[in-house]
Chain A
Amino acid sequence: MSSEMIAEYEVSHGKAKAFYERYERKDELQHQTHFCPGCGHGQTHKMLAKAIDELGIQNRTILVGPVGCGVFTYYYYDVGNISAAHGRATAVATGVKRSRPESIVIDYQGDGDLAAIGSAEILHAANRGEHITVIFVNNAIYSMTGGQLAPTTLLGQKTATSPEGRNAANEGYPLHVCELLATLEAPVYIERVGLGDNKQIMQAARAIKRAVENQVRGLGFSLIEVLSPCPTLFKMTPVEAQRWVRDVMEKTFPLGVFRDRTKEAQPRALPEAAPALDRIPQILGVANEDLPEGNPAVHDETAADLDLAVRVAGFGGQGVLLLGEVLAEAGLDAGLEVSWLPSYGPEMRSGTSNCHVRLATRVIDSPMVTNPDVLVAMNEPALRKFVKSVHAGGWILYNGEEFPADCEQPGVQVLACPFTEIADALGNARAGNMLMLGALLEMTGVLRDVNIDAALKRLVKNPRWTELNRRAIERGRELMRESRL
């Protein structure tokens, strides 16, 4: 009869299925946790496991574990496990969830991990409204490392690194994570719960389940802060530690819901299906059929063994880089080897700008042009900076009426014209660079109009400029021809 009587009972509260039956990843004592007797991590673990069971998401769950006393989440949870570096769990969780939006990503962190070293990561994950659930165990102390000051250590609380008690003047005040994050727009649910007594414990279990459920519903970022006893480092019995959480800790960290937008929040839209694989080259703009064929072999006999090195220099806004790009692009169109190397960074911002261009029939060794065949100097400072680099037999195109006498170089030919002003008369001063390009093309004879047109079509999208640029280049050619007369 007695066996029948036992059979009339059924398990109402038993070990969650989300836990492994036996903790085989643990070295020894595989039938119990590594937590000290009375540790709040254990209770929190159970609440989370229960929520996973009740929501039926064990297969979908990916748990991102912290560094600290909670480091061994993967010993216990029979879910997908990822162990993160100290403080980085929210960043790791972000990387996981963004690529696996169907998974349920739960991030488990302690106070040192989340609120000190990981403070930037949690703040920004919350601010982005990452679709993750964060379980934040706050026991006001660094436990794993042996009881040092945490960002959440209470004022006056003695720790290994605050032997006289936390002093606001030295260590600042306890950090209120929930309050802080509740100032942000994106979070959907933020609640602080405690493990201080039965009532608090039951509420904690409800809150944790809710935070996970929010993610199942696709609602967005949820965080539950759990005020948690650490009997070992509080140097109390488990029961005393529990009471301390309720009677002392809660005074600094009031319990409650700090954010609840679960009603307004819209389930996130499912990500669009990825494009078909064969469309990728097209999407990237590298598909052969989308690329111009070019007009090769039209560079004629004059370019039988061409190797042209050009330095273009001037102020930002004068179209220095574009001049170089048109040259390089046209060279490519003509089937030449080309390289284009810009100056970059603050140098550009402060106003000066320059680029190196090489066009050659053979493979280009160095893209750097230290001794150009042609220097295109769009203003006087640029001229002065690079004038000495032009080698004998080379050319300088100078944007100015008068070429400074002290800049003359033996064996270097010069064309000095007020290109900008001439461009202005043509219709827009900004076409000065194209005038200089025209002069350069005429002087070197390297490229055909068809190459230049193709380059301009690719680089200058606004049709308003096309006509002006053409005229400017033609005028530049004329100026060069005139100078030769």
Chain B
Amino acid sequence: MRKQLMKGNEAIVRSAILAGCRAFYGYPITPASEIAEAAALYMPRAGGVFLQAESEVAAINMIYGAAGAGVRSMTASSGPGISLMQEGISYMAGAELPCVIADITRGGPGLGNIAAEQGDYHQVVKGGGHGNYRTIVLAPHSVQEMADLTALAFELADRYRNPVFVLADGFIGQMMEPVEFSQTAVEPRTPDYAVTGTKETRGNLIGSLHLDIDEMEAHQGRMEAKYRHAEEHETRAEEWRTADAEIVLTGYGIMGRILKAVAAEARADGLKIGVLRPITLFPFPKLHFQRLAKSARVFVVVEMSNGQMLEDVRLALNGARPVEFLSRVGGNVPSHGEVLEFVRKLARQSLPALHLEEECVANV
């Protein structure tokens, strides 16, 4: 496979079509618009459908229709647009319809700004719409991962019959890096639950209404079982030099890249430091954290949001290790220098104290 230089946003669309996606409905928004633009160009050429909808609300419901008709389909937006899509995402989860949604995040709340931020974590990872459901969330940190995780997203969406997010910040969407693509296109297949306007599918029903409370509970039980299954089988994280790490830096997306740079430099200083980068945000890689908690002394969460992923890290560690937190928001990115300084200070002040604490414990 040969590499070519491409924006993350453009890689998503190519990878989606290779993965058998044949419908894209969207609405322009910075910094996600290139996805719709590329889809407008390539989707019809590949025999698929592209339509710029009148709103994100309409777009996600068009996806609902396309997915109900058995077509792999996707949309893309950024924070404000994702908020509008939450209704449709809840309906899709309820009706157990697959789809892929790319959220190329920007600054918020409200109109916020268009700089890269990670403030969509809660609305994407925790559900966002009404009712008991989850979405699987993949967080690429490079253009290559934009391509690879988009392809994976379609597989997972079909496997779990559930919406899957590709959650990336404006940096990952906008930057160009070398990327290579699969040379074989996945053949679009029609799932047997789809309503396609044929005799065979006439008895099928797509919907999420369960008036009977026990039936509703049973339905949710099945959904919950799916999510548990995903937790067991789909959790992904990248570990970088964590084996002997006393300090574990953690962050996703662009932060994961910066943290690796910081850790590399801090290692050169002699610090035992590594990076744990969640690739799936739901299911959250709890076990990775719990395992590292056995050897590491302290965890440092670095995000471009106000402690949203921090909560999941704390839940995963459940008090086993202290968790430090560094964040910049508004479009600022915790810089290499900032993080490095934070880590050095931590190493100077806290690590000895932590060692001491353990010695105390040992002495008791």
Does B316 interact with chain A (Cβ within 8 Å)?
no
**Nearest CB on B from A96, distance (A):** 4
Does A338 interact with chain B (Cβ within 8 Å)?
yes
Chain A 275-287 against B: per-residue CB contact (8 Å), 1 yes, 0 no? Answer: 1011011011111
Beta-carbon contact of B47 and A275 below 8 Å: yes
Beta-carbon contact of B46 and A283 below 8 Å: yes
Does B178 interact with chain A (Cβ within 8 Å)?
yes
Please, which residues of chain A bring their CB within 8 A of the CB of B171?
Answer: 341, 367-368
**Nearest CB on A from B259, distance (A):** 8
Beta-carbon contact of B18 and A284 below 8 Å: yes
Beta-carbon contact of B5 and A80 below 8 Å: no
Beta-carbon contact of B175 and A84 below 8 Å: no
**Nearest CB on A from B142, distance (A):** 8
Residue among A61, A85, A340, A368 making CB contact with B87, cutoff 8 Å: A85
Please, which residues of chain A bring their CB within 8 A of the CB of B71?
Answer: 99
8 Å CB interface, A45-66 against B: 58-62, 64-65
Beta-carbon contact of A367 and B178 below 8 Å: no
Binds A, one of B54-62, B156-164, B346-354: B54-62
CA gap between A300 and B13 in the complex, in Å: 36
Closest B residue by C-beta to A272: B47
Does B108 interact with chain A (Cβ within 8 Å)?
no
Residue among A99, A120, A342, A368 making CB contact with B333, cutoff 8 Å: A368
Does A345 interact with chain B (Cβ within 8 Å)?
yes
CA gap between A61 and B195 in the complex, in Å: 10
Residue among B65, B187, B202, B337 making CB contact with A91, cutoff 8 Å: B65
Beta-carbon contact of A121 and B185 below 8 Å: no
Beta-carbon contact of A340 and B175 below 8 Å: yes
Residue among B2, B31, B257 making CB contact with A288, cutoff 8 Å: B2
Beta-carbon contact of A278 and B58 below 8 Å: no
Does A346 interact with chain B (Cβ within 8 Å)?
yes
Beta-carbon contact of A99 and B69 below 8 Å: yes
Beta-carbon contact of A280 and B66 below 8 Å: no
Number of interface residues of A (CB under 8 A): 78
Beta-carbon contact of A79 and B114 below 8 Å: no
Beta-carbon contact of B261 and A365 below 8 Å: yes
Number of interface residues of B (CB under 8 A): 83
Beta-carbon contact of B178 and A99 below 8 Å: no
Does B73 interact with chain A (Cβ within 8 Å)?
yes
Does B49 interact with chain A (Cβ within 8 Å)?
yes
8 Å CB interface, B45-94 against A: 45-49, 51, 53-55, 57-59, 61-71, 73, 87-88, 91
CA gap between A430 and B82 in the complex, in Å: 40
Beta-carbon contact of A95 and B18 below 8 Å: no
**Nearest CB on B from A272, distance (A):** 7
Beta-carbon contact of A80 and B195 below 8 Å: yes
8 Å CB interface, B155-201 against A: 170-171, 174-178, 181-185, 187, 195-199, 201
**Nearest CB on A from B325, distance (A):** 20
Binds B, one of A191-199, A222-230, A324-332, A419-427: A324-332
Please, which residues of chain B bring their CB within 8 A of the CB of A95?
Answer: 23, 25, 61-69, 73
Contacts A96-B65, A99-B69 hold; do A345 and B204 have CB atoms under 8 A apart?
A: no
Contacts A83-B206, A325-B176 hold; do A332 and B198 have CB atoms under 8 A apart?
A: no
Beta-carbon contact of B209 and A83 below 8 Å: yes
Beta-carbon contact of B66 and A340 below 8 Å: no
Beta-carbon contact of B17 and A284 below 8 Å: yes
Does A19 interact with chain B (Cβ within 8 Å)?
no
Does A69 interact with chain B (Cβ within 8 Å)?
no
Residue among A81, A100, A283 making CB contact with B207, cutoff 8 Å: A81
Does A74 interact with chain B (Cβ within 8 Å)?
yes
Beta-carbon contact of A120 and B54 below 8 Å: yes
Beta-carbon contact of B114 and A121 below 8 Å: no
Does B22 interact with chain A (Cβ within 8 Å)?
yes
Chain A 99-116 against B: per-residue CB contact (8 Å), 1 yes, 0 no? Answer: 110111100000000000
Does B211 interact with chain A (Cβ within 8 Å)?
yes
Beta-carbon contact of A366 and B46 below 8 Å: no
Contacts A99-B66, A275-B47, A368-B258 hold; do A82 and B195 have CB atoms under 8 A apart?
A: yes
**Nearest CB on A from B21, distance (A):** 11
CA gap between A337 and B197 in the complex, in Å: 50
Beta-carbon contact of A120 and B58 below 8 Å: yes
Closest B residue by C-beta to A64: B65
Chain A 249-272 against B: per-residue CB contact (8 Å), 1 yes, 0 no? Answer: 000000000000000000000011
Closest A residue by C-beta to B49: A98
Please, which residues of chain B bring their CB within 8 A of the CB of A278?
Answer: 184-185
Contacts A80-B195, A91-B53 hold; do A283 and B202 have CB atoms under 8 A apart?
A: no
CA gap between A365 and B257 in the complex, in Å: 5
Beta-carbon contact of B181 and A284 below 8 Å: yes
Residue among A79, A286, A346 making CB contact with B202, cutoff 8 Å: A79
Which of the listed residues A64, A74, A88 has the most CB atoms from chain B within 10 Å of its own CB?
A88
Residue among A71, A96, A287 making CB contact with B195, cutoff 8 Å: A96
Beta-carbon contact of B17 and A332 below 8 Å: no
**Nearest CB on A from B262, distance (A):** 8
CA gap between A368 and B197 in the complex, in Å: 50
**Nearest CB on A from B276, distance (A):** 15
Beta-carbon contact of A59 and B175 below 8 Å: no
Does B336 interact with chain A (Cβ within 8 Å)?
yes
Closest B residue by C-beta to A271: B47
Beta-carbon contact of B18 and A280 below 8 Å: yes
Does B361 interact with chain A (Cβ within 8 Å)?
no
Please, which residues of chain A bring their CB within 8 A of the CB of B177?
Answer: 338-340, 364, 367
Does A25 interact with chain B (Cβ within 8 Å)?
yes
A-B pairs, 5 with minimum CB distance? A95-B65, A103-B197, A274-B47, A83-B207, A365-B261
Q: List 21 A-B contacts (CB under 8 A).
A: A60-B197, A62-B196, A62-B197, A82-B206, A83-B206, A91-B61, A92-B64, A94-B51, A94-B65, A95-B61, A96-B69, A98-B49, A100-B197, A120-B58, A275-B47, A281-B185, A287-B183, A340-B177, A366-B257, A366-B261, A371-B337
Known: A60-B198, A83-B208. 12 other contacts (CB 8 A): A84-B61, A85-B88, A91-B58, A95-B62, A97-B65, A124-B58, A280-B185, A283-B46, A328-B5, A340-B5, A366-B257, A367-B177
Interface residues of B (CB under 8 A from A): 1-5, 14, 17-18, 22-23, 25, 30-31, 42, 45-49, 51, 53-55, 57-59, 61-71, 73, 87-88, 91, 95, 114-115, 170-171, 174-178, 181-185, 187, 195-199, 201-209, 211-212, 254, 257-258, 260-261, 264, 333, 335-337
